Amino acid sequence: MKNNKIKIGIAGLGTVGSGVINLLNNNKDEILKRTGCEFLVQCVSARNKDKARSCDINNINFYTDPVDMLENEKIDIFVELIGGNDIAKNVVMRAIEKKFHIVTANKALIALHGTKINQLSLEKNCSVLYEASVAGAVPIIKVIKESLSANKIQWIAGIINGTTNYILTEMLLSGKNFNDVLDEAKELGYAESDPTFDIGGIDAAHKLTILASICFGIPLNYDSVYVEGIEDIDLQDLNNAMELGYTIKHLAIARKSKYGIELRVHPCLVPNSRLLANVNGVKNAVVVNSDAAGPTLYYGAGAGSLATASSVVSDIIDIGRNLSINSKKSTPFLGYMNNMVAEQEILKISNIESRYYLRIKVTNKPGVLADITKIFGKKTISIESILQKEENEKDVNVPIVLVTHKIKEQNLIEALLEIENLEVVKDKIIRIRIEELDS
Amino acid sequence: MKNNKIKIGIAGLGTVGSGVINLLNNNKDEILKRTGCEFLVQCVSARNKDKARSCDINNINFYTDPVDMLENEKIDIFVELIGGNDIAKNVVMRAIEKKFHIVTANKALIALHGTKINQLSLEKNCSVLYEASVAGAVPIIKVIKESLSANKIQWIAGIINGTTNYILTEMLLSGKNFNDVLDEAKELGYAESDPTFDIGGIDAAHKLTILASICFGIPLNYDSVYVEGIEDIDLQDLNNAMELGYTIKHLAIARKSKYGIELRVHPCLVPNSRLLANVNGVKNAVVVNSDAAGPTLYYGAGAGSLATASSVVSDIIDIGRNLSINSKKSTPFLGYMNNMVAEQEILKISNIESRYYLRIKVTNKPGVLADITKIFGKKTISIESILQKEENEKDVNVPIVLVTHKIKEQNLIEALLEIENLEVVKDKIIRIRIEELDS
């Protein structure tokens, strides 16, 4: 049945929810020209009706309970912007039962419950779209599922958490340490009051889970992602990296090698000549390397009310355009036919190969470097370069900064354990992977 | 009627045509997993069957005449890769008459004949897709028509011709002049033997015509695009720009201002801090600035056999995915409802406002700068900075390099005419627009 008046229900009226209502209002005429459809927000749910909001919700049916809303309203599209995963999951499953199409910005929901949500949506013949769940305004989901559909994807590497990128950028620019910049980021609204999910890499890992599935046709598998945050990045490492011609970025990487698939979120040294090294502040960017297109890059705002709403509403419009000509969404949930999505081996982090930046704090006395390089030699780890740090004879401890050739991580782990046991080595050794992003 | 075996006919077996055949072969299994469809190249046309080619055309019906092919074959999708515009237009119109869906990489075809092609395709209920016509592997067409569909687009600025970008990059890196680098580019295959269309900006203007229509919902109107090439860019201007903190790029710009729409292709000074200034060699990149998403950037290979084929096959897949579930393409030809595409005023270049880089060759004697600035003053042109070039008392002529504040181009044109008439001014004044790309 053709339908040019698309009725929408929205659960959650925070930053993104308000943005969606404002965007549908502000650009109503433009959207009508592009689609021939009117998109009407018929109902919303949020905890508190009277909270001050940046959007106008007069003339919209209001509910404090999203399930209550679903039971009472007849809509075409249900937009889930509650966040979190348990409540959101139940609400979305209920909405699909009611045969409403789903649009969500919720990465945790898709990463953790996407498989079940998709199964039910297939039974009920609904679309589930989630462009806004990764990289805000950057349309990376549709690009991979549709624009790169002719390609075998080899790897993807992204700056997909604005908070960590803001902190790393600011540390380098201002010369301040991690904690001071984190405090500033909180004041500016670039970090949550509890920033654990961002800083620790959990948020990026949810997003990488989604990206990896649509790149390689594997089931959503959050538990297989290796995660390191940026808590241990010290200003001196940012500066050392710069001396070596690199910028430290917190990357989410999924790579298909001959041994299996790597899924990892961690800080990396990226060569300054790469565009990714020049993506600063809260911006997001994703590089996709695929066999036909080669490297392509997608850049933009990773968060923000209207920027995220841009992606949410693009999904709403996709569904609306199909409803208006009585067509169906032709691209499957993960960009692969549902019966073709299949497990592939995920590599343990100890089995990856990489180059490494190492900073080892040692007692300032002759022979120390020889002791260390002897252990590396035993583990067949060869050193590509040593960064000479200015030192003062009076310093009791000095840093040795090394760059290794490409080696297996397991060998490095074993060597570092042994080196950390040397009496002359103080503190835990700092180890950051180097990603050339060139092949 | 659902259809999982999609039959394809290809006209034109040059670089891109061979790439499409190879890509469909190489990635047959991956494409089947993503789409559930088999894509079969049933017939091809090219001038000479026996020419050495990088693709295997055994078991494909061969024609020397594309129209002959259309009359004899029953296919689902016709892929036009002949290039040029007259023959290509006739062939595509014939293919639509036969109710075949169309995929093309031909920017001239769409820019010059898109309106008629679309009209016929509406009558015949066919899709016409053209992702590969702009920026090679970069999916800028679908991004604008679908992913940014919730936005009012304010401006778009792109490096969409690899040849000119390669030449400007190489001149700066190697310190060689325009003609030497152009010769090298020809040897490397980065420039055609007759490079007029690329160097002169015609190719970029065809592409900009398409981008402007899908950004603003205006009819395709190639004749309204203002075009300058890079023939007059001198090495000293590249170096002067760098001293000022800018890189010279050949940009295609479409901007909606309160006075009308600007459509222009010309060299620009771009601040080095912009990612666009760091897009080097034959790569392409497009920045779209829109009201909700803000600035987003899309980067990748602008040409090449498989890179362009990636976009061609993504269009083929889009159509195949729809055919396989008996759906139709829901996004209109220009991303706007056909009856909503409407003329808007296109600004003359003399009516735009910009900042300008100027290089004026003058007799080396006192009072010259005063004469020049007096004329600028009369035309209410204020000078933001003057770049002091090292000079030698013995030099008869010296360059004065100036940067203006934002002014109306008409005022500058009048001032420069008057200045060029001064006896102390030698040669034509070099004038390059400055684009901050910040709002």
Q: What is the ipTM of this complex?
A: 0.97
Closest chain A residue to the Cα of B335, Cα to Cα: A34
Q: Per residue in B183-197, is it b (16+ CB within 10 Å) or e — as a string?
A: ebbeeeebbeeebeb
Q: Between A and B, how many CB-CB pairs are < 8 A?
A: 214
Chain A: closest CA distance from residue B369 (Å): 39
Comparing CB atoms, the residue among A33, A147, A275 nearest residue B299 is A275
**Contact list, A302 vs chain B (CB under 8 Å):** none
Distance separating alpha carbons of residues A430 and A432, to the nearest angstrom? 7
Q: Contact B294/A275, CB-based, under 8 Å?
A: no
Q: List, as one string, the DSSP characters of A106-130.
A: -HHHHHHHHHHHHHHHHHHT--EE-
CB of B315 within 8 Å of a chain A CB? The answer is no
Q: List, as one string, the DSSP characters of B359-379.
A: EEEEESSTTHHHHHHHHHHHT
Distance separating alpha carbons of residues B56 and A268, to the nearest angstrom? 42
Query: Percent of chain B at pLDDT above 70?
Result: 100
Enumerate residues 6+ apart whose C-beta is below 8 A from B220.
B110, B111, B112, B114, B115, B209, B210, B213, B334
Closest chain A residue to the Cα of B214, Cα to Cα: A34
Q: Per residue in B29-58, is it b (16+ CB within 10 Å) or e — as a string?
A: ebbbbbbbbebbbbbbbbeeeeeebebebe
Banded model confidence at residue B439, pLDDT cuts 50, 70, 90: low
Whether the per-residue pLDDT at B2 is higher than 90: the answer is no
How many residues are there in chain B?
439
CB of B72 within 8 Å of a chain A CB? The answer is no
From chain A residues 165-224, the ones with a CB under 8 A of any chain B CB are: 217
Q: Whole-number mean pLDDT of chain B?
A: 96
**Contact list, B137 vs chain A (CB under 8 Å):** 292-294, 296
CA A282 to chain centre: 12
**Contact list, A144 vs chain B (CB under 8 Å):** none
Enumerate residues 6+ apart whose C-beta is below 8 A from B67.
B90, B91, B94
What pLDDT score was predicted for residue A114?
98
Average pLDDT score over residue span B191-201: 94
Q: Which tokens is A119 given? A: 């199964």
What pLDDT score was predicted for residue A1?
59
What pLDDT score was predicted for residue A117?
98
Mutate to test the interface with A, among B247, B296, B319 (most CBs of A within 10 A): B296
Give the end-to-end CA distance of chain B in Å, rounded to a whole number: 48
Read off the pLDDT of residues A50-101 as tens digits, 9 standing for 90 and up: 999 999 999 999 999 999 999 999 999 999 999 998 899 999 999 999 999 9
- Catalogue the E-assigned strands of A22-152: 38-45, 61-63, 77-80, 101-104, 128-129
What pLDDT score was predicted for residue B1?
59
Chain A: closest CA distance from residue B9 (Å): 17
**Is the distance from CB of B329 to CB of B322 less than 8 angstroms?**
yes
Read off the pLDDT of residues A121-154 as tens digits, 9 standing for 90 and up: 999 999 999 999 999 999 999 999 999 999 999 9
The 3 state secondary structure assigned to B384-405 is EEEECCCCCCCCCEEEEEEEEC
* Catalytic residue status for B207: yes
From chain A residues 140-159, the ones with a CB under 8 A of any chain B CB are: 142-143, 146-152
Read off the pLDDT of residues A111-128 as tens digits, 9 standing for 90 and up: 999 999 999 999 999 999
Distance separating alpha carbons of residues A396 and B420, to the nearest angstrom? 70
**Is the distance from CB of B154 to CB of B127 less than 8 angstroms?**
no
CB of A3 within 8 Å of a chain B CB? The answer is no
Read off the pLDDT of residues B227-265 as tens digits, 9 standing for 90 and up: 999 999 999 999 999 999 999 999 999 999 989 999 999
Residue A216, SS3?
helix
Mutate to test the interface with A, among B34, B77, B297 (most CBs of A within 10 A): B34
Distance separating alpha carbons of residues B82 and B87, to the nearest angstrom? 8
Q: Which helix (H) or strand (E) holds A295?
A: strand A294-301
| Residues lower than pLDDT 70 in chain A | 1, 439
Maximum distance among all Cα pairs of chain B, rounded to whole angstroms: 83
Distance separating alpha carbons of residues A265 and B213, to the nearest angstrom? 40
Annotated active-site residue in B107, B145, B207, B256: B207
Comparing CB atoms, the residue among B26, B310, B318 nearest residue A148 is B310
**Is the distance from CB of A132 to CB of A159 less than 8 angstroms?**
no
Query: Percent of chain B at pLDDT above 90?
Result: 92
Bridge partners (DSSP) listed for residue B5 = B38
Closest chain A residue to the Cα of B315, Cα to Cα: A147
Domains of chain B and any CATH numbers: 5-136+305-339 (3.40.50.720), 140-301 (3.30.360.10), 352-434 (3.30.70.260)
What pLDDT score was predicted for residue B239?
97
What pLDDT score was predicted for residue B360?
96
What pLDDT score was predicted for residue B278?
94
**Contact list, A298 vs chain B (CB under 8 Å):** 296-299
Whether the per-residue pLDDT at B44 is higher than 70: the answer is yes
Bridge partners (DSSP) listed for residue A119 = none
Whether the per-residue pLDDT at B143 is higher than 70: the answer is yes
Average pLDDT score over residue span B82-98: 95
What pLDDT score was predicted for residue A3?
79
CB of A238 within 8 Å of a chain B CB? The answer is no
User: Which residue type is seen at B206?
Assistant: H
Closest chain B residue to the Cα of A19, Cα to Cα: B292
**Contact list, A321 vs chain B (CB under 8 Å):** 330-331
CB of B306 within 8 Å of a chain A CB? The answer is yes
Bridge partners (DSSP) listed for residue B44 = B10, B62
Whether the per-residue pLDDT at B4 is higher than 80: the answer is yes
Read off the pLDDT of residues B325-336 as tens digits, 9 standing for 90 and up: 988 888 999 999
Maximum distance among all Cα pairs of chain A, rounded to whole angstroms: 83
From chain B residues 260-299, the ones with a CB under 8 A of any chain A CB are: 275, 278-279, 285, 290-299
What pLDDT score was predicted for residue A151?
98
Residue B352, SS3?
coil
Distance separating alpha carbons of residues A245 and A387, to the nearest angstrom? 12
Distance separating alpha carbons of residues A303 and A283, to the nearest angstrom? 8
